[in-house]
Amino acid sequence: MSKLITFAIQASPPPRLDKALARDVPDDAHLSRSRLGKLIEGGAVSVDGTAITDPRFKVIEGAQIAVTLEAAEESHIGPENIPLDIIFEDADLIVVNKPAGMVVHPAPGTPSGTLVNALLHHCGDDLSGVGGMKRPGIVHRIDKETSGLLVVAKSDAAHHGLAAQFEKHTVERRYLAVCYGAPDSNDPRLRGIKGTSFEPGNILRVQTFLGRHRTDRQRQAVSFQDGRHAVTRVRILERFGQPVAAALVECWLETGRTHQIRVHMAHCGHALIGDPVYGGRRKLSEKALGVAGVRGAHDFSRQALHAATLGFVHPVTGADLAFEAEIPADLGGLLRDLRQNG
């Protein structure tokens, strides 16, 4: 069943129709500029009774706009009955604790078995439609081999509101990670690495640009000339070994870029244990960590990274929400191994 949204263009409109609509469309319509662009091109927008399909059309003050929203289409992605660890759910969003090894969204190399496939099965008809399609709205992702918390929109209103919070970097995301060595302010080496500094409380701050590696398109790389601005903060929670050979750290993001924590930790010389892309296999001392600690680190089969805390404002109710996910069994086992040598 279609829905009609009508409104008038206000004073001093932007020169393009898509920009003018994005500015003046009622907030409760929850239509992004990209969605409005697609609606224009699809013939779903009329100006003073005439359908306009050019997003660059020049619109004037007082023009009467009608936007026709068709009922949400079924997704081309198939639902799959995959168990989910659901932390919170209501009519507008769902928070899940993703296991390591699960891809968030289908891609050419992973067409099934993803979080989206599982959510389509779990939510069924509860999906009211995101972007004109009955699908979960993915507003952020974590890597396949990273475990932890994700919030996913079930409605356009939630998708619109959550995306705005992520864009403004107001969402709280804290990760637990196990790294080689310990990023301590007493280490003079760290103070000599470009992009690193320390804040009160022995908090490491890493500020760089991040972009695709020039020769390996699957990797991200630190830059100081171009790319996307990225800031990570790191605090030591626990040290392992005598002398210290590894540490449990808490990382939190001011920005959220692809592989950000993994790249920044490697840039500082404190790559994550188990990271096959940025960490490699480092030789650890049995004298420092004990046999169990060295074996546990060597055998850990994924990057030791867990999205432990997630906090945001509910985009529909306005309630402050905060969630925590316990350390998964494999990461807990690594920590037990590292603690055995005192």
> How many C-beta neighbours within 10 Å does residue 163 have?
17
Please name the residues in contact with 6: beta carbons below 8 A apart, sequence gap of 6 or more.
64, 65, 66, 67
Helices 17-24, 33-41: crossing angle, 10 deg rounding: 130
Q: Which of these is catalytic: 92, 143, 275, 337?
A: 143
Asked if residues 292 and 286 have their Cβ atoms less than 8 Å apart, the reply is: no
Question: Please, are residues 135 and 162 in contact by the beta-carbon 8 Å criterion?
Answer: no
Nearest-angstrom CA–CA distance, 99 and 145: 8
Angle at which helix 286-299 crosses helix 329-339, to 10 degrees, equals: 170
**What is the C-alpha to C-alpha distance for residues 66 and 49, in angstroms, rounded to an integer?**
8
Active site residue 24: no
Rounded Cα distance, 49 and 52, in Å: 9
> What residues act catalytically?
143
